[in-house]
A and B are shown apart, each in its own frame.
Chain A
Amino acid sequence: MPRFVMKFSKEGYTKYVSHLDLLRVFKRAFKVMGLDIKYSQGFNPHPKMGFAQPLSLGYSSIAEYLEFETVKDHDPEEIKELFKGKLPEDVKILDLFSFNDEVRSLAAETVACRYLISMPTELDEASVKDILEGYLSQKSIKAFKRMKKTKTREEVEIRDKIREIRVAKDDGKAVFDCLLDSGSQSNLSPELVISSFLEYSGWDLKRWDIEVERTEILYSNRIQFRHIDKTP
């Protein structure tokens, strides 16, 4: 079955469109474009499509991935053309290509994600770097996680799930470039990095003063396409 991957951005106000709502936006767009998306069998057929990783409400992104299957084969450029004018303004297609890797899904192959976390601060870059170094040098970093099933808050260890964090100052903000485990094997939400960092640093910030943007999704070696990725 012909399979495709579309890389897109979700910026501006569309960061407030939820994961499920965005799926519906795409489902509609496919219908309007008249693209022969493959549907699942069964009583309530649904289109065969899915995101690599859900993006939290309120996060922007320049690296979202949607995979989908069609009935007949198509030129990716042709599909890109069909999409014109069918998506909300702040959702932009960055790349669209055939997907031939022998894997079950992008979601199953996701291993890590890169995020930019911006926090307003008066401190200079050197001081922020010191604080970050101290934060990362802890043997153990604990954070509270709200458990989906029990709805309780549980303390979890996150240090081993942080692959790398670097920081730079930009226009009154400390911008943390974080590479975090992501996917079914090991997963870390940027929210836990934010809460544990605020607690460690003692910075008095409200959650809504902080911006998060996803800039990259890393996949396992079984996925080839990231090597041909044309976007920065």
Chain B
Amino acid sequence: MNIDIKKQLDKLLKRVEKPGRYIGGEVNSVMKDPSKMDVNFCFCFPDIYEIGMSYLGLQILYKMLNDQPNVYCQRAFQPQNDMEELMREEGMPLFSLEQKTLLKDMDMVGFTLQYEMSYTTVLNMIDLAGIPIFSKDRGEDIPLVLAGGPCAYDPEPLWEFVDCFLIGDGEKLLPEFTGLYAEMKSKGATREEFLKEAVKLQGVYVPAFYDVKYNEDGTISELCKLYKGAPDKVKRAILPEIESLDFPVEPIIPMVEAVHDRAVVETFRGCTRGCRFCQAGMIYRPVRERTREHVIELALKELENTGHEELSLLSLSTSDHTEFEAMALDLVDCTKSRQVSLSLPSLRIDKFAFNVLQRIQEFRKSGLTYAPEAGTQRLRDVINKGVTENDIYTSVRQALELGWNHIKLYFMIGLPTETYEDLDGIVEIAKNIRDLNYEINGKKGGRFKLTVSVSNFVPKADTPFQWEAQDTAESFRLKHNYLAERLKDKRIIFNYHDNETSSYEAVFARGDRRTSRLLYEAWKLGCKLDGWSEHYRPDLWEQAFINSGIDRDFYTTRKRSFDEIFAWDHIDCLVTKEFLMKEAQKAYEAQITHDCRYGCVGCGINREVKCEKGGIYHA
């Protein structure tokens, strides 16, 4: 603990908004003596405190690391602008919340990559910490910079800045990694010696051990190894099951209100639906559930320990849990008696979900959300979203009759094979729901409101659509206008996303090593916290494209051929490329692939771990 840092910090905190974000000391935050630890780890979330503290993964890994007696995991977030300006002015580097330890004095700093638009903030935090921005410039006494999370499945845009990526389930890989580090540190191993040993662990990717060669047309000709001990393909670290895993039932409780200030229990990992645009649906396979009894036990413990007034369940598709209805009804009873509200995100609204929702919202009926994703059955079949218009109307009718009056619809535009007919389909669904309300609630329609939100399709690595072209910004604009004109109705609220952001996202979602230059230029020009409209600077991003010489269209609107070598081909998410290709071809024929609970569809995951839910329904 550095007295000078504390004194200096005290002066800064008096001059910034919400200083409570920078002080730590929350109930359940962990205090240890860093000088007595083998491994000092800083968990870094590349966004502000209120966002980062809402992320369950932080609480999971924080607990898991701190449960090891020789490891100390502290936290750091991106400060708001007022704080960062003062820190830079006063020469105060980024510090951890718990002990005010400077990040540059730690053994390793690990970033979680949840969304592409946080990449500039990763660079900014590395720099603010006083750590050299480029991996190659870091000497022996500089911490290792690590990164993991869903975006690490295409790590290449960050290859120059991150020393080592940890791919897959952190609960499995991180203890192995820190254990190896502690052992080798005590033997006086160098950075390189450690990394050479670390790549023997499943899920460890060290970019410096690989090289990429390009064809004249800009595509990749070869991915090769510079260190022969590195694996040809880095397989993701994977937990065979999560039932036996520890769960943070005593999470850190923020004093400054986080975005989601609630107790959360992860009910299962993975998804069997196989929507073709969805990266999470591929990279988190197979489905690994916690039993109903265990979920309830964890929820009650957490509520007891935290005093939270809201409980939420987390998974990719809440109602797909094998025992969903019984589990949810049990939870409704437990939460009601404790004056806790229960929220169930990512719900497929079928008849089971209805039973539950009705019980939750007996009195106060908030909004109901549906995600048909596409406007026509043809396009929904293309993307393998197994929902029919009839399903939606039946369910909406029931909802309106039961007293819900706010319906939300989510769609994506720019999906492969989309035409204006599909956009007309969106308008039609919206209008039919509006009319359904008139039919049920009379000519005046009551207090009915319909929100139609449209997001832009971003093709992602490791999905059946990874070969697809993204729409041009111009095409997105025309489609937004087309929809906006047709959805002018006092009952309908139409929302859509910013077009430029979707194209930057698309560059990095399938970026190769060259895109790191774009990232570097953007950050140099001052881009950070790009996910925030008040910080986001499209003008600087445009300049960054010019400065870096990156051809945006090459990454966004170019359709790839099946034989193209991808920048992320050496990262193995354990779902086979052959399966993704087969899915892509079925998409063009608008052929659906059934939910694999009705029978294995051969994605390849069961080569690595036992897939418990594949084919359980035997339809």
The interface of chain A, by Cβ under 8 A from chain B, is 12-14, 16-18, 21-22, 24-25, 27-32, 45, 57-58, 86-90, 207-209
Contacts and interface: CB of A to CB of B under 8 A. Distances in A.
B11 A28 contact: no
B49 to A, nearest CB: 12
B526 interface: no
A32 B304 contact: yes
A107 B558 CA distance: 67
B25 A12 contact: yes
B13 A21 contact: no
A57 B307 CA distance: 25
B255 interface: yes
A17 B23 contact: yes
Interface in B3-55: 11-15, 18-20, 22-27, 31
A201 to B, nearest CB: 20
A24 B14 contact: no
Main SS of chain B's interface residues?
Answer: loop
Contacts of A24: 255, 257
A57 B19 CA distance: 9
A209 B26 CA distance: 26
A146 B558 CA distance: 58
B15 A208 contact: yes
Interface in B359-397: none
14 contacts: A16-B20, A21-B255, A24-B255, A25-B27, A28-B27, A28-B307, A29-B307, A31-B307, A32-B307, A86-B27, A89-B25, A89-B31, A208-B11, A209-B11
A207 B26 contact: no
Given A16-B23, A32-B305, A45-B339, 16 more contacts: A13-B13, A13-B25, A14-B23, A14-B25, A16-B22, A18-B20, A21-B20, A21-B257, A24-B255, A28-B307, A32-B304, A57-B19, A58-B19, A88-B255, A89-B25, A208-B15
A199 to B, nearest CB: 20
B61 interface: no
A89 B12 CA distance: 21
Contacts of A21: 20, 255-257
Contact of B306 (A12, A13, A32): A32
A72 B12 CA distance: 45
A89 B13 CA distance: 19
Interface string B334-346: 0000010000000
B253 interface: yes
A101 B156 CA distance: 69
Interface string B305-327: 11111000000000000000000
Contacts of A90: 25
Given A32-B305, A207-B14, A25 B255 contact: yes
A207 B12 CA distance: 11
Nearest to B97: A13
A101 B23 CA distance: 38
A51 B15 CA distance: 25
Interface residues of B, number: 26
Nearest to A20: B257
Contacts of A14: 23, 25
Contacts of A45: 339
A22 B25 contact: no
Contacts of B19: 16, 57-58
A13 B24 contact: yes
A28 B306 contact: yes
A131 B305 CA distance: 54
A209 B255 CA distance: 25
A31 B256 CA distance: 18
A14 B308 CA distance: 21
Nearest to A87: B27
B307 A30 contact: yes
A209 B10 CA distance: 9
A88 B14 contact: no
Nearest to A25: B255
Interface string B253-280: 1011100000000000000000000000
B92 to A, nearest CB: 13
A187 to B, nearest CB: 22
Find the residue from B12, B24, B27 having the highest chain A CB count within 10 A. Answer: B27
B13 A16 contact: yes
B14 A208 contact: yes
A115 B255 CA distance: 25
A88 B25 contact: yes
B307 A17 contact: no
Contacts of A17: 20, 23, 255-256
Contacts of B22: 16
Contact of B23 (A13, A29, A207): A13
Contacts of A18: 18, 20, 256
**3 closest Cβ pairs, A-B complex:** A31-B307, A13-B23, A16-B19
A177 to B, nearest CB: 21
Contacts of B25: 12-14, 88-90
A162 to B, nearest CB: 23
A27 B307 contact: yes
Interface in B557-612: none
A53 B18 CA distance: 20
A30 B339 CA distance: 14
Contacts of B23: 13-14, 16-17
Contacts of A57: 19
Contacts of B339: 45
Nearest to B100: A13
Nearest to B18: A18
Contacts of A22: 255
Contacts of B305: 32
Contacts of B13: 13, 16, 58
A207 B18 CA distance: 17
Contacts of A58: 13-14, 19
Nearest to A89: B25
A29 B20 CA distance: 18
Contacts of B14: 58, 207-208
B308 to A, nearest CB: 8
A22 B253 CA distance: 12
Contacts of B308: 28
Find the residue from B12, B14, B24, B31 having the highest chain A CB count within 10 A. Answer: B14
A139 B384 CA distance: 82
Nearest to A58: B14
Nearest to B12: A208
A16 B11 CA distance: 12
B89 to A, nearest CB: 13
A24 B27 CA distance: 12
A158 B293 CA distance: 64
Find the residue from B253, B304, B306 having the highest chain A CB count within 10 A. Answer: B253
Nearest to B15: A208
A31 B255 CA distance: 15
A210 B12 CA distance: 12
Nearest to A208: B14
Contacts of B11: 208-209
